[in-house]
Structure 1
Amino acid sequence: MILIAKKLIALDLDGTTLNDKPAISFKTKQAIAAAQQQGYVVSIVTGRPNRISENFYDDLGLNTPMINFNGNLGILPHNHWELEYQYTIEKDIVMDLLEKSKQLGINLLAVEGRNMFLANHGARNSFGFFPTVIKSNEVLNQQSLKDNPISITVELQPEAKESFMAYTRANFGDVVDVAPWGGPHAVVEVTTKGIQKATGLKVLSDYYGIRQDDIYAFGDEANDQSMISYAGHGIAMKNAIPSIKQIATDVTDFTNDEDGVARYLKDHMDIAVGL
């Protein structure tokens, strides 16, 4: 059954809905709850895997589908969704990168799916998206990688980042996209070619019967570009990178660490919430 709602609010997590701790502030929870009570559909559209975003989904009290891995996975957490989807990468690509780890300057190579996490070893303490200690059944090798993953994440020696990206594009560029993360680490993500956050955003808006003009998408980083462009109202955070601000229809008056999303919902979208 297709549901009808007046507007869709699409939320990036890091640097947007989450503060710098990272956590969801009480004011943000209040504002999102008020938006839902007033008939808005609120969905998370994040680069994070589901394993480290479902806690925020639950914290916000959402019951809508969630988009993970920058558009490569769409699920309804804790429930079945008839439009659930995933885009995966051939295992042979993973094995090629793993075998060439040393010459490509790879420190950490991790692959993930909805219910899969494998890595060549634990992450360094400063690299917080991945566990520092992995179980024996989480070690990445030919035997443990039984299914095609959704995402390959590679942490590299800083001087090796550009050459790794060039190698991957030259050898597998017809089937994958290669994109660096923002932030201080030399991290690159490999995903299915042509799939972006806008892919998931379109699935959501079609599912709920919401026009493009009625989509409000909040983001701050390069991986938000497609959904900021796709949405009728692409809203960049005050702390967003310049290229995102340039394509946005509006910019919040406050940063993610100053409840920027919550304040925007109240001040610019007339969502009644006590802030």
Structure 2
Amino acid sequence: MIQLDRAPRLVATDLDGTVVRSDETVSPRTMAALKRLAAAGVILVGATGRGPRLIDLCRNDIPSADFLVLGQGAFVYECRYDDTVVQLADRSVEGSVLLEALRLIEAEVGPVRALAEPADPARHITGDAMPDWPWTAVTLETAPREIAFTGPMVKGYFVSDEYTGPELLVAAKDVIDPSLVTVTESGVGMLEVCPVGVTKAAGIQVVLDKFGIDWSDVLVFGDATNDLSMMEAAGHSVAMPNGHPWVQAAATEIAPAGNNDDGVAQYIEALLELP
């Protein structure tokens, strides 16, 4: 039995680890549940750390979404009108700022491997060699840091061989002034360094402002530490049982199953049965 007693006006869900399964697909059951939710008049938002260069993949994974919040909240797109996409927010950070954050973090934890994701989608994600890069569909390019971190960036990716992603996040927060950059982590062992003030909650706020919706009327689903901002802001939040302990602790309740077993779909199906 779900713990929600009324339908929300807006539902925001993370993608990877939440609705996307371990084999990088979304099940037909989850697709159908999200479609039914949107058809019921609930505004559906996909909120992900994926950058704007992966917008087509995001639309494929959650085609019923009215809006997409990408790049940890830096980019917001309205996509309710067939193939028409309208950009509502576009935030970037200068590569030189990411390099300064990198200097501070390495002074604290020792050497890390670093990549820069340019705001220009024609440029590859570039930087240090990253043999364990988890997204094989994204092309990487190796280059000296002074070249890689040049120009406007979506974000930087920093990886330590000595620290887990959450451990690196804690260490970075000790030495990074939030007026320089925002640091987060998306559950794959990488610190993600974003423009100041960029969070999933900030991206969703763009959509809320458009419709005059309060956070009390928002339901969110998430699994990783980069979901914490929206989990803590929403009136009702559901963590995946496969999610990080910090996320589970922040959530209102836990989904009935994990991402590989249609946990979000099961929850939404129960939600749609509410009177």
TM-score normalised by L of structure 1:
0.79
How does 1:12-23 map onto structure 2 within 5 Å?
Answer: 12-23=14-25
From 143, 155, 161, the counterpart of 1:157: 161
Q: Distance in 2 between matches of 1:62 and 1:105?
A: 42
From 168, 174, 177, the counterpart of 2:182: 177
State yes or no: 1:216 paired with 2:253: no
Q: Distance in 1 between matches of 2:70 and 2:177?
A: 23
Gaps of 5+ in 2: 1-6
> Does the Cα contact within 8 Å between 1:46 and 1:68 map onto a contact in 2?
yes
Q: Distance in 1 between matches of 2:172 and 2:256?
A: 41
Q: CA deviation at 1:28?
A: 0.4
Q: Percent identity between the aligned chains? A: 23
Q: Distance in 2 between matches of 1:132 and 1:58?
A: 16
Q: Paired residue for 2:208?
A: 205
| Distance verdict in 2 for CA 1:64–1:102, change over 3 Å | same
| Distance verdict in 2 for CA 1:54–1:175, change over 3 Å | same
Q: CA deviation at 1:133?
A: 5.7
| Distance verdict in 2 for CA 1:170–1:214, change over 3 Å | closer
Higher fraction of strand = 2
> Does the Cα contact within 8 Å between 2:14 and 2:221 map onto a contact in 1?
yes
State yes or no: 1:229 paired with 2:232: yes
From 75, 81, 86, the counterpart of 2:90: 86
Amino acid at match of 1:192: P
Gaps of 5+ in 1: none
> Does the Cα contact within 8 Å between 2:101 and 2:176 map onto a contact in 1?
no
State yes or no: 1:120 paired with 2:127: yes
| Distance verdict in 2 for CA 1:112–1:168, change over 3 Å | farther
| Distance verdict in 2 for CA 1:139–1:131, change over 3 Å | farther
> Does the Cα contact within 8 Å between 1:108 and 1:156 map onto a contact in 2?
no
Over the residues paired in the alignment, what is the CA RMSD in angstroms?
A: 3.5
How many residues are treated as equivalent by the alignment?
262
> Does the Cα contact within 8 Å between 2:92 and 2:155 map onto a contact in 1?
yes
| Distance verdict in 2 for CA 1:199–1:171, change over 3 Å | closer
Deviation string, structure 1 residues 68-93 (Cα, Å, up to 9, x no partner): 121122123664536x2122222223
Q: CA deviation at 1:122?
A: 5.1
Q: Distance in 1 between matches of 2:101 and 2:136?
A: 19
Q: Distance in 1 between matches of 2:210 and 2:259?
A: 29
TM-score normalised by L of structure 2:
0.79
> Does the Cα contact within 8 Å between 1:212 and 1:230 map onto a contact in 2?
yes
State yes or no: 1:188 paired with 2:191: yes
Amino acid at match of 1:119: T
Q: Distance in 2 between matches of 1:176 and 1:208?
A: 29
